[in-house]
Amino acid sequence: MSAQESCLSLVKYFLFVFNLFFFVLGSLIFCFGIWILIDKTSFVSFVGLSFVPLQIWSKVLAISGILTMGLALLGCVGALKELRCLLGLYFGMLLLLFTTQITLGILISTQRVRLERKVQDVVLDTIRNYRADPEETEAEESWDYVQFQLRCCGWHSPQDWFGVPVLRGNESEAHRVPCSCYNSSATNDSTALDKVFFPQLGRLGPRARPRHNTDLCVVQANGYIYREGCAQSLQKWLHNNLISIVGICLAVGLLELGFMTLSIFLCRNLDHVYNRLARPRPPGPAFPRAPPRPFQVS
């Protein structure tokens, strides 16, 4: 076996093993997302998250698992069976994914101000229409979850909630805000967490936590609430995790570039090696023949 054949075999099995690993990883991600969708009642009760964000993330996990499994399957079969069509398709999908990521990064960098304004408009519209329609509470529950996780209240400040009609009390009462603005760490009071995240679980079945008398939970704005807006909290979170985010993006990009290089190298060199191996030898006798004797006339 020549050095080129050994190199191709090493690339083939290296590509197969790594894609097999990502196929298993994608299947685990897919199963985890499906498990959340099927057994959402007990899972929501266990982790204590809001139902709607958890449902959204479960669908994202399931779709991501399917895409990872499909891409890894192309790489595994194409490398093991040495099929140029599958290797080319694998390279094309990786190139499309890599180009999409680069495009999104450029758009986010160049259109950052416009994107921030768009997010601000969506959040403020969600706040203004908070619980206006009792049947459509997905956006409100998601925003409650964001406020609880980022430990913030409103977009700019808690005053964003003061003009919401459903939160208004009597003129003599202080302004009120949703319970997701409640700072339980300031009083070591964990009872408000049940009010924030578990009222909507009553419709999920007997395994969920008991439902309260009302789905709308409010607290006084002059009490123990988060005083910082979510815009500032989000900027702080991005600043504190910028190195990790950039590192993950670079690692994913380099991994995709490595797989693309290996797949196109294997695809371009398969025919060259096999044609050289299958090239027919020139015909000839196994042993040299004696020269013909001249014809003699007696």
Structure confidence by residue, pLDDT tens digits, 114-171: 988 999 999 999 999 898 887 777 788 888 888 988 899 999 999 999 888 888 766 6
Give me the count of residues in the chain: 298
Cβ atoms of 126 and 139 within 8 Å: the answer is yes
Residue-level pLDDT at 148: 87
pLDDT at 80 (0 to 100): 87
Strand partners, 177: 219
Q: What is the pLDDT of residue 283?
A: 55
Closest C-alpha among 82, 90, 89 to residue 9: 82
Output b/e per residue, 257-288; b: 16+ Cβ within 10 A. eebbebbbebbeebeeeeeeeeeeeeeeeeee
Which residues of the chain have a pLDDT value below 70? 1-4, 40-53, 169-173, 186-215, 271-298
Tell me if 262 sits within 8 A of 11, measured CB to CB: yes
By the 8 A CB rule, do 52 and 141 touch? yes
pLDDT score recorded for residue 293: 58
